[in-house]
Structure 1
Amino acid sequence: MSKALAWIRKSKGDESDIGLKEQRELVRTLANDVADEVEVLDLGIHTGFSTMTRDDPAGLLDQNESVQERVNELQAGQYSHLVALDDRRICRDEYFSVIQYAATQGDAEIVYVGDVNEDDLTFDLKRRIERDTKEEEIEKSQRAIERRKEHGYDHGRPRFGMTYDADGHYQVPGEDFDTVLEIFQLDNAGDSRREIADAVGVPTSTVQNVLDRREWYAERGKMTNT
């Protein structure tokens, strides 16, 4: 039985964006056409850049746990197709070659809703131009991050189970914080990472990340969102 991975991502806008809704419909439709089963990686509004071209790993594509897991599954041969609107919706820098390699290793065909020029020179030039046009925006973002660091504020996407406080300064317990506490309880009871993941319904990588930051979560658990 064939299985397609539908890859959905948009750099700007919000979840109600018409372009994002249309992308979801088109990509899902094509995925259903080429495979018997479809799994969706819906990143919503998410940067298309990775640590291969950015210094700060906060919120970048290759730091996203879901992306890491899907790329590993691609390489392991769990999908027959990788489906996206176009190549830029998958990735906007050289990390695309990593995803492309994983698909090749796993014998998965990459198919697009729109036409894509596969020429390597065009591919590289297009991304270099895109990267150059975004440099000012990236520099502004980096300066903002530095200012937050100077004030001792958190930055980047909230960790699992967390959200930002009302002032947007610190990460505090969010809707899924009960799951964080459950992970700690199951770990204390001697359950394996896989057993914990199955019990709470999150990837094993999320379980590991939470356990690696046990002290940090314990401190933040004392804070409330006011």
Structure 2
Amino acid sequence: MSRALAWIRKSKGDDDDIGLEEQREVVPGLAAELADEVEKLDLGVHTGFSTMTRDDESGLLDQNERVTERIDELRSGRFDYLVALDDRRVCRDEYLRVIQYAAGQGNTEIVYAGEVNEDDLTFDLKRRIERDTKEEEIEKSRRAIERRKQQGYDHGRPRFGMTYDANGHYQVPGEEFDTVTEIFQLDNAEKSRREIADEVDVPVATVQNVLDRREWYEEREQMAEM
């Protein structure tokens, strides 16, 4: 059985705007024509930049666990096709090369629903222009993050199982926190990472990330109970 990954992302706008609606219709549709089974990576409105060109502490493409987990799956050969509207919807900087390399390792064919200029010079020039036009927006974001850090608040996307409190200041246990607790319990029972992942139905990478941050999760759980 063949399998395709439908990659959906947009840099700006609202989650329900026309650009995303088009992607959510066209990209999975093409993926369904190519493969028997389709899985989606729907990032909604999300930056297309990575730590390869940015030094933000969180929120970048390669800092998103959902992205890195899917790239691991591409590398392992889970998918026969990676489908997106165009290359810019996958990534807007050199991290695209990392994704392409992972796809190559897993013999995954990358298919775009729209037109893509494959010329490397055009690729680099386009992204440099895009990068320059976003500098002011990024600088504002950096200042906002710095203010949050100075005030002792959390910043960036919530970690697995977490959400922000009503004031938007701190990460607190969310809807999937029961899964976090179960991961800790299974780890205490000396289950392997793979056994835990199978038991709670999440990728191994997520299990590892949760266990690596165990003290942080326990501290946040205690804060929420105070």
Q: TM-score range by the shorter chain?
A: over 0.9
**Structure 2 vs 1, CA of residues 225 and 15 (structure 1 numbering), >3 Å: closer, same or farther?**
farther
Confirm whether residue 21 of structure 1 aligns to residue 25 of structure 2: no
> 1:128-207 alignment to 2 at 5 Å?
128-207=128-207
- Superposed CA deviations along residues 126-168 of structure 1, whole A, max 9, x for unmatched, are 0000000000000110011111111111111111111111111
SS of 1:223's equivalent? helix
1:173–1:225: 8 Å Cα contact kept in structure 2? no
- Match in the other structure for 2:127: 127
Shift of 1:57: 3.6
Shift of 1:76: 2.7
Confirm whether residue 74 of structure 1 aligns to residue 74 of structure 2: yes
| Range with greater deviation from structure 2 (169-178 or 73-82) | 73-82
Task: Write the distance in 2 (CA, Å) between the matches of 1:3 and 1:218.
Answer: 38
Confirm whether residue 215 of structure 1 aligns to residue 215 of structure 2: yes
| Range with greater deviation from structure 2 (40-49 or 13-22) | 13-22
1:154–1:170: 8 Å Cα contact kept in structure 2? yes
- Superposed CA deviations along residues 72-95 of structure 1, whole A, max 9, x for unmatched, are 222233322211001100001110
Shift of 1:186: 1.3
Task: Write the distance in 1 (CA, Å) between the matches of 2:66 and 2:184.
Answer: 21
- Match in the other structure for 1:12: 12
Shift of 1:225: 8.9
- Superposed CA deviations along residues 49-81 of structure 1, whole A, max 9, x for unmatched, are 100011024011111222112222222333222
SS of 1:221's equivalent? helix
Aligned length: 226
| Range with greater deviation from structure 2 (88-97 or 171-180) | 171-180
Shift of 1:223: 2.6
When the two structures are superposed, what TM-score results if normalisation uses the length of structure 1? 0.94
SS of 1:49's equivalent? coil
- For structure 1, which runs of at least 5 residues remain unmatched after alignment? none
Name the amino acid aligned to 2:223: M
1:197–1:207: 8 Å Cα contact kept in structure 2? yes
- Superposed CA deviations along residues 22-46 of structure 1, whole A, max 9, x for unmatched, are 2111001111112222222111221
Task: Write the distance in 2 (CA, Å) between the matches of 1:181 and 1:109.
Answer: 38
1:163–1:173: 8 Å Cα contact kept in structure 2? yes
Task: Write the distance in 2 (CA, Å) between the matches of 1:217 and 1:106.
Answer: 34
Name the amino acid aligned to 1:145: I
SS of 2:83's equivalent? strand
| Range with greater deviation from structure 2 (87-96 or 209-218) | 209-218
| Range with greater deviation from structure 2 (118-127 or 193-202) | 193-202
1:166–1:225: 8 Å Cα contact kept in structure 2? no
Name the amino acid aligned to 1:107: N
Root-mean-square deviation (CA), in Å?
1.6
Task: Write the distance in 1 (CA, Å) between the matches of 2:135 and 2:174.
Answer: 33
Task: Write the distance in 2 (CA, Å) between the matches of 1:76 and 1:163.
Answer: 30
**Same amino acid, percent of matched pairs:** 78
Task: Write the distance in 1 (CA, Å) between the matches of 2:114 and 2:156.
Answer: 32
**Structure 2 vs 1, CA of residues 6 and 225 (structure 1 numbering), >3 Å: closer, same or farther?**
farther
**Structure 2 vs 1, CA of residues 75 and 206 (structure 1 numbering), >3 Å: closer, same or farther?**
closer
- For structure 2, which runs of at least 5 residues remain unmatched after alignment? none
When the two structures are superposed, what TM-score results if normalisation uses the length of structure 2? 0.94
